Structure 1
């Protein structure tokens, strides 16, 4: 029973620490948190039969931060997607300008 409470306390500490600085954390710190959280949850799940009502309530209270954490993850996902899109556009432009053209060909440059 004491182990469950210790794991839940560790999960609370990690979650509250992250949430208190949610707009400052980078993707690497968010990844480390997700891995730590997964490890703690994997330790807690087999012990769920020994949960007291207080333990269930503590875990339920932590779930209110999920949306905030997922929003931050989504922010990094969109940022990475935009970076890849920009990189692809730059690559296409570079290959268009660096292509070998035959002397009789025409090249049209258009502005986006």
Structure 2
């Protein structure tokens, strides 16, 4: 149990130390690795959580993870804003696009 918590804290601290240069893919890897460790921890018997040291380690992990989750939310908001800008630009551009096929012909009939 202690080893799993320590691995989780080391994983989060390592990821947190490179937070400014993290890519979305690296954050995804962190989430996957973290999920695996948390799943293993949850398989432990409930009595193993009663240690004060384990509680402090788990609280530390939660505080560190909150920083990374905040960064992930920032990235999500940036991506959302960028998509909104692209959508707005596309809408504005389509208003000026030609509504006909440039290779088509128009024939008048004489009356």
Q: For this structure pair, what is the TM-score category when the shorter chain's length is used for normalisation? A: 0.7 to 0.9
Q: Deviations over 1:52-86 (max 9, x none)?
A: 33222211121221331122011111111011111
Alignment: residue pair count: 98
Q: Does 1:16 align with 2:16?
A: no
Q: Does 1:34 align with 2:31?
A: yes
Q: Deviations over 1:80-104 (max 9, x none)?
A: 1011111101211221111427xxx
Cα distance in 2 for partners of 1:10, 1:62 equals: 10
Q: Residue 57 of structure 2: SS of its match in structure 1?
A: helix
Measured on the aligned residues, the alpha-carbon RMSD in Å equals: 1.6
Q: Residue 12 of structure 2: SS of its match in structure 1?
A: helix
1:50 corresponds, among 48, 51, 55, to: 48
Taking structure 1 as the reference length, what is the TM-score of the superposition? Answer: 0.77
Unaligned runs of 5+ in 1: 102-112
Q: Deviations over 1:25-58 (max 9, x none)?
A: 1111111111111111011012143233322221
The structure having more radius of gyration, on CA atoms, is 2
What corresponds to 2:104 in structure 1? none
